[in-house]
């Protein structure tokens, strides 16, 4: 990814990312601490790869999730989809930023299925913060992670197509 720049968690990088994406430093720090803490809630006995996610809603709430695996491997679910499933079923509708944390460096980025899942609920400008094991991060907008994406507005209204 040519635009993927690993940024450190020093105050200069953090405050520049916060001003670019209109987040407070506290919101950024909380996104990091909550996504990192959510790793501990993962159910990942097969991969042992802990992923935590945290979503900042427009009204300032944080909704967390972690990956949940399954003995039938493809049935497992990623942290991002667990977090968005929770957020949507709790009634949240607008989202300001997404954080994803893993124990590797450079940081992991959301898988293709998660990118599409996020696309359903977030503006294309929404920042996705990918934190590595030490809190260094890469941030990209959803539209950079999923260019030329297909979203809900592309579908004609139900009932408007011929049977």
**Site residues (vs ligand THU, CB under 6 A):** 44, 47, 49, 51, 67, 69, 76, 78-80, 108, 110-111, 114
Choice between 14 and 83, CB closer to ligand THU: 83
The token duo for 125 is 């400008």
Choice between 64 and 69, CB closer to ligand THU: 69
User: Which residues are designated catalytic?
Assistant: 80
Listed as own residue / partner, the contacts of 42-46 with beta carbons closer than 8 Å and 24 or more positions apart are 42/66, 42/67, 42/68, 42/79, 43/67, 43/68, 43/69, 44/68, 44/69, 45/69, 46/71, 46/73, 46/76
Choice between 18 and 100, CB closer to ligand THU: 100
Binding residues: 78, 111, 114
Binding residues for Zn(2+): 78, 111, 114
């Amino acid at each position: 990814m040519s635009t993927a720049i690993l940024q450190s968690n020093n105050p200069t990088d953090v405050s520049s990312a916060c001003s670019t994406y209109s987040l407070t430093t506290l919101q950024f720090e909380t996104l990091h601490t909550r996504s990192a803490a959510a790793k501990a809630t993962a159910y990942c006995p097969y991969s042992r790869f802990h992923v935590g996610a945290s979503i900042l809603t427009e009204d300032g709430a944080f909704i967390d999730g972690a990956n949940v695996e399954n003995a039938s491997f493809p049935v497992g679910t990623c942290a991002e989809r667990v977090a968005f499933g929770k957020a949507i079923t709790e009634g949240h509708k607008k989202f300001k930023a997404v954080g994803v944390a893993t124990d590797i460096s450079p940081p992991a980025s959301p898988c293709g299925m998660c990118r599409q899942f996020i696309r359903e609920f977030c503006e294309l400008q929404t920042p996705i913060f990918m934190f590595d094991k030490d809190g260094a991060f890469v941030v990209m907008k959803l539209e950079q992670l999923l260019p030329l994406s297909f979203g809900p507005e592309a579908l004609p209204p139900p009932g408007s197509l011929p049977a």
